[in-house]
Amino acid sequence: MSRPALLALADGRTFHGRAFGADGEAEGEVVFNTSMSGYQEVITDPSYCGQMVVMTYPLIGNYGINPEDFESARPFLTGFIIKELSGIPSNWRSRGTLDEFLSQHGVVGLQGIDTRALTHHIRDKGAQQAVISTRTLDAKALVERARKLPGLEGRDLVREVTCAVPYDWEDGEWELLAGETRVRPRPLAGKYYRVTAYDFGIKQNILRKLAQAGCSVRVVPASTPAEDVLAERPDGVFLSNGPGDPAAVPYAIENVRRLIGTVPVFGICLGHQILTLALGAGSFKLRFGHHGGNQPVMDLASHKVEITSQNHGFAIDRGSMKENVEVTSINLNDETVEGVRHRTLPVFSVQYHPEASPGPHDSDHLFHQFVRLMEATR
């Protein structure tokens, strides 16, 4: 039997629908994601910590749940909002339903609302705090709660998602075994470069891409001192994606500042923002962020356009960047900064997610660029 549920936004807009997943209440910033598939990757992406995600594609859950597509061990978003939940998942890799998965992990889901209207509202009014409840349908009370919730600016969400202790990553990309209905990590030709990866909320497919490119990866907590990293004598340092406001993690910015000029550095998403702030730039919050698998990014040197996957609510202020930092790519939708490099040091980063493969292989060259930098500076 379907359970009634209510979504209440801080600006007073409400949406009545039906619950799935866990019973209870969820709080967080509401953002929309324009991907047509990949809901498992979205749900388990640590970058969504503190947020509730609206999927713009109308039918979600149609291929079920399979562990190979997880980006981390569990969901990190606080709520999941869709138009319609598929009643019959169908995929040879499926190990369960989306409804069961969210229920198991205590994530409140909402379906049966006009997600197009909600997306338009967020686009016009901006991302904002909200509450989903299956316990009360008192719209006025829920709106008041939403108005009292803290925003993402100034909140250190990285501490909520980073690993507790260092660990090593060995697996390459998935491959399908001939004649079998299962996948396994692809055998690696060899590991030649020692990479320390800062975990600000790292996605597992980033680790697979690094390993496949020839890197032996040591993942460390977000607060690991730069001196401890350098003591291990890595060939390169990787700065991962993660949730929230880059200015809210000054310890990470300071550690990266100490690493610049001593070892090649490559950053993705939040790692890109932390690196750029360490180079002296500033950041700002976007109106509704970039979340989805269809963002066009142009390389300013070649004018080639890549279709990219993105998930961020903050961006780098181009006008605040120092002369020794070059913008390498921009978003064609709003001309925000999508990539930078230092003009003289082996340091570069991108705002988008090359490991998510929406192109599908448009951005793989970035991992090989990192390897070439390490090779040149060994």
Half-sphere CA count of 53, side-chain side, radius 13 A: 30
The residue assigned the tokens 């997880």 is: 70
Q: What would the two tokens of residue 263 be?
A: 């070892």
Q: Which pLDDT does position 363 carry in this prediction? A: 84
Q: Which pLDDT does position 4 carry in this prediction? A: 97
Q: What would the two tokens of residue 332 be?
A: 């064609």
Alpha helices in the chain (DSSP H): 39-43, 98-104, 115-125, 139-148, 158-161, 204-212, 226-231, 250-259, 270-278, 365-377
Give the Å distances, CA to CA, from 223 to 143, 250, 258, 282, 299.
Answer: 36, 10, 13, 21, 32
- Torsion angle in degrees (nearest 10) through CA of 116, 120, 126, 129: -30
Q: Is 343 left (phi over 0), alpha (psi -120 to 50) or beta?
A: alpha
So which residues are the catalytic ones?
A: 269, 353, 355
CA gap 212, 65 in Å, rounded? 25
Q: Which pLDDT does position 123 carry in this prediction? A: 96
From first to last of its 378 residues, what are the pLDDT tens digits of the chain?
579 999 999 999 999 999 999 999 999 999 999 999 999 999 999 999 999 999 999 999 999 999 989 999 999 999 999 999 998 999 988 999 999 999 999 999 999 999 999 999 999 999 999 999 999 999 999 999 999 999 999 999 999 999 999 999 988 888 776 655 555 666 666 768 999 999 999 999 999 999 989 999 999 999 999 999 999 999 999 999 999 999 999 999 999 999 999 999 999 999 999 999 999 999 999 999 999 999 999 999 999 999 999 999 999 999 999 999 999 999 999 999 999 999 999 999 999 999 987 767 778 899 999 999 999 998
Give the Å distances, CA to CA, from 273 to 24, 173, 253, 287, 305.
Answer: 35, 26, 9, 17, 21
Residue 140 DSSP label: H
Decide: 5 and 113 in contact? Cβ < 8 Å: no
Q: What pTM does this model have?
A: 0.95
Positive or negative, the Cα torsion across 66, 69, 73, 76?
Answer: negative
Q: Which of 61, 71, 44, 31 is nearest to 289 (CA)?
A: 31
Q: Which pLDDT does position 362 carry in this prediction? A: 75
Peptide bond into 360 cis (omega under 30): yes
Decide: 1 and 19 in contact? Cβ < 8 Å: no
CA gap 257, 91 in Å, rounded? 46
Q: Domains along the chain?
A: 3-148 (3.50.30.20), 158-377 (3.40.50.880)
Decide: 313 and 154 in contact? Cβ < 8 Å: no
Decide: 338 and 353 in contact? Cβ < 8 Å: no
